[in-house]
């Protein structure tokens, strides 16, 4: 089920608090967001979007086990919640379980083919695995959905010698097109 469907099915107060928690996260006020999410879960321990958001906060704070437990709780409530599947995929990726990560990202996309973060995550693992053509395909899909992002600590494409030839060819094609137009 999609986030909005969960929000529509909950009380107005929980929905309002959840939106406030999202806003706090955007502003970088994760402590305040965590308090709000804890309050929501005290009222409704099965509210999947809050479980997922709180998991992300825990993971970013280095409390990976707690984050993973929250994601598992979310998926026990709704096994078809793409954000939790994708976030669990991120944990698998960080643990070096790339096949499991890819499976989780693809599962999220089977449920919601418009879920951009899963495309982005697939693009990143394909890039890290040297599968540049697939990486570009997935990252373009993520970009179309407004979720394109590479990790800041990732090695840029242009620093990978295996990627230089395609970049050079793309540049040459661009020059030829410009000359042809002029």
> What is the predicted pLDDT for the residue at 161?
47
Cβ atoms of 81 and 75 within 8 Å: the answer is yes
Nearest to 47 by CA among 16, 14, 2, 24: 14
Residue 139 exposed, middle or buried by CB count within 10 Å (0-12, 13-18, 19+): buried
C-alpha 115: how far from chain center? 9
**Residue 155 scores a pLDDT above 70:** no
pLDDT in tens, 62-75: 999 999 999 999 99
Q: Stretch 167-181: mean pLDDT, rounded? A: 76
Termini Cα distance of the chain: 52
Predicted pLDDT at 146 = 81
* DSSP type of residue 158: G
Over 70: is that where the pLDDT of 30 sits?
Answer: yes
Residue range 44-67: mean pLDDT, rounded: 97
The percent of residues in the chain predicted with pLDDT above 90, rounded, is 75
Give the model confidence (pLDDT) of 113-136 as tens digits. 999 999 999 999 999 999 999 999
Instruction: Note the maximum CA span of the chain.
Output: 66
pLDDT at 108: 97
Q: What secondary structure does DSSP assign to 47-100, as a single string? A: -HHHHHHHHHHHHHTT-HHHHHHHHHHHHHH-TT-HHHHHHHHHHHHHTT-HHH
Q: Where are the domains of the chain?
A: 1-79
62: alpha, beta or left? (left if phi > 0; alpha if psi -120 to 50): left
What pLDDT score was predicted for residue 159? 45
pTM of the model: 0.79
Say whether 99 sits in a helix, a strand or coil: helix
Domain 1-79 sits in CATH at 1.25.40.10
């Amino acid at each position: 089920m999609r986030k909005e469907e969960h929000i529509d099915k909950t009380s107005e107060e929980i929905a309002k608090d959840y939106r406030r928690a999202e806003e706090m996260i955007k502003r970088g006020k994760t402590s305040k967001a965590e308090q709000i999410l804890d309050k929501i879960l005290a009222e409704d321990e099965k509210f999947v979007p809050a479980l997922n958001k709180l998991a992300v906060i825990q993971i970013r704070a280095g409390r990976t086990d707690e984050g993973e437990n929250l994601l598992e709780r979310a998926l026990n409530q709704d096994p078809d919640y793409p954000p939790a599947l994708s976030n669990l995929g991120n944990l698998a990726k960080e643990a070096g379980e790339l096949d499991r990560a890819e499976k989780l990202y693809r599962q999220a996309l089977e449920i919601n083919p418009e879920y951009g973060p899963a495309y982005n995550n697939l693009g990143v693992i394909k890039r890290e695995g040297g599968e540049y053509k697939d990486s570009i395909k997935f990252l373009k899909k993520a970009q179309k959905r407004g979720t394109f992002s590479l990790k800041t600590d990732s090695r840029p494409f242009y620093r990978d010698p295996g990627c230089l030839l395609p970049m050079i060819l793309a540049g040459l094609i661009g020059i030829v097109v410009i000359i042809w137009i002029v």
